[in-house]
Amino acid sequence: MELNPVRATQSISAVLTDVDGTLVTKDKVLTERALKAVRHLRERGIVFTITSGRPPRGMRMLVEPLGLTMPMAAFNGGVIVLPDMSVLDERQLPDYLLPALIDMILAHGLDVWLFRSTDWYVRSRDAPRVDREASTIQFPPVVLPTFDDVLSGIVKIVGVNEDHPRVAACEAAVQTAFGTQVSAARSQPHYLDVTHPMANKGVVIERLSRYLGIPLDRIATLGDQPNDVLMFKKSGLSIAMGNASEEVKRQATFVTTSFGEEGFANAVEQFILPQAEPASGPAVKATGQLHRLGQSLWLDNITRDLLSSGTLQRYIDELSVTGLTSNPTIFEYAIKNSSAYDAAIGGQTAQGRSVEELFFELAIDDLTRAADLFRPIYDRTNGVDGWVSLEVSPLLAYDTAGTLAAAKDLFARAGRPNLMIKIPGTPEGLPAIEEAIFSGVPINVTLLFSREHYFAAAEAFLRGIERRMDDGLKADVASVASVFVSRWDSAVAAKVPAELRSRLGIAAAKRTYKAYRSLLSSPRWQRIYNAGARPQRLLWASTGTKDPAASDVMYVKALAAPFTVNTMPEGTLKALANHGDIPTLLRADGGDCEEVLARFAGAGIDIYALANQLQHEGAKSFVKSWNGLMTVIASKTAALAKG
């Protein structure tokens, strides 16, 4: 039955569906036709995800059969999770409202259930529908005689009664009494869901639209209950199930058959697939998804051709790149393999500059141009993002005074607020980092490998900021701490059993992330935040896969984490955009990192000694690249002079 033929002509690029009463049968089963319909959507390039009043754990059993990779909305949007159940966002009910809400629901004769993200609470295991709900969401409730000790962190209150008019009356009463303070709607005739005011299916579809960059009118929605109408009203194509009430059906573009008559599959085949058109644009790519999840993507490359051809601008516009890093190896390759620098080298040579001076002129020219491209991002994010990085001479890795002097000089010469100076986190580099931060120079601390290296870099940063605070200076000097990942795996590839290959770098990074998250919540960090400081973000470096047998986006997918940076080579960036997806987020507790590291220790790998060895070897490799870079420039200078 077609209800709105005008809106029904809109192309559809994404599908958001309710679960109970819509996607699954009365017995909570995903039919073969429903699974086939979802596969057809995916084959056509249509984004598919789900929203439900269920808790996150109650949606877990749907992830694998549906092949879900997009964020899912539990508790009608009260909690947004990725398919691995990692929480992207949680919107709790205000603690002070809970007693009043519970009193009103009880006064209307409804039983009350309380839900947190991971647990739910009931007053009696024998209360109506408790057993059925436990079967649906596949975990039991916690039974409490009183809710007095759990009135915090509540994401959803459910009022339960088999008297449907009574539930409807309670819904109206809560809406009248609490207005915009909560969202109250029936998810089933016997359930009243009360959530945060910004936790409803209308908000869910708005957030999905922003996350994917897909206009609301190109999203199709399916549902069967009054709380689904909010997403119906905002979507380009809405489909009510045949088992929905007449009022719900009137709000939809189309009506399909009931959930007992393959209504979901019929709707996909009849109404959605004929209008299916894959979305395009940066937000749909995995690079855009990663950016939306809160991780910054920086490019680990710089060449003059990259700038002049418009490629870097395209990466910014199409691949969500928000920053850039460089190092001597990158510049050696760029200058050696391009004629783009020849004119500048010839002109600077005539002025009698040394090879090192000539290099920094070339590098500063490239990086200031890049900084200008990223400047709108820097301004828009208030200096959180939009950075480029220039390294001091690797010959200074063990020279504290020389490093500090070079850092100040290069930052001043560049004259761009969004340019960071890279200083290695060697024992000799740490005092220079502290002094540079104190002097107001933004620093990218490089060559960090372990948790202990990170702590040392963070301490240098903190001391620099605290000294600025003591002197009455602004505390908002930016810094990142660059942790190298793939070099761990290259170092042990021939020394460990096959099942441990390509696992050490990720485990060491996870342990470092755990330390980072712990430090962010410490009173010391909180104090400098209050003074206007910005956190020293963790940056994943060396994220190109070296093992030909491993995925080319292995490190990127494993280290997807909010409030971090991933700087990656062009090849990795393109691979992520072309065939990546981000189904998981790095856990704040480091996940299985300690278990994996223990297995490496059992295989004879001394993690602590290897970290220091890798840092020392990294400094040596940069010196080698630096010397090679100087040779390349000298050779070009000589050749151009002869010409």
Residues with catalytic function = 422
477 φ/ψ angles, rounded to the nearest 5 degrees: -85, 130
What is the sign, positive or negative, of the torsion defined by CA atoms of 99, 101, 104, 109?
negative
Estimate the crossing angle of helix 355-380 against helix 400-414, to 10 degrees.
60
How far apart CA 643 and CA 639 sit, in angstroms, is: 6
Strand partners, 541: 484
Q: What are the φ and ψ backbone dihedral angles of 371, each rounded to 5 degrees?
A: -60, -35
Positive or negative, the Cα torsion across 36, 42, 47, 50? Answer: positive
Phi, psi of 63 (to 5 degrees): -65, -55
Structure-token pair, residue 487: 């070099």
Radius of gyration of the chain from its Cα atoms, rounded to whole angstroms? 28
Neighbours of 309 (CB within 10 A): 12
Q: What is the DSSP string of 360-409?
A: HHHHHHHHHHHHHHHHHHHHHTTTSS--EEEEPPGGGTT-HHHHHHHHHH
- How far apart (Å, rounded) are the C-alpha atoms in residues 338 and 489? 32
Q: DSSP of 231-256, one letter per residue?
A: HHTTSSEEEE-TTS-HHHHHTSSEE-
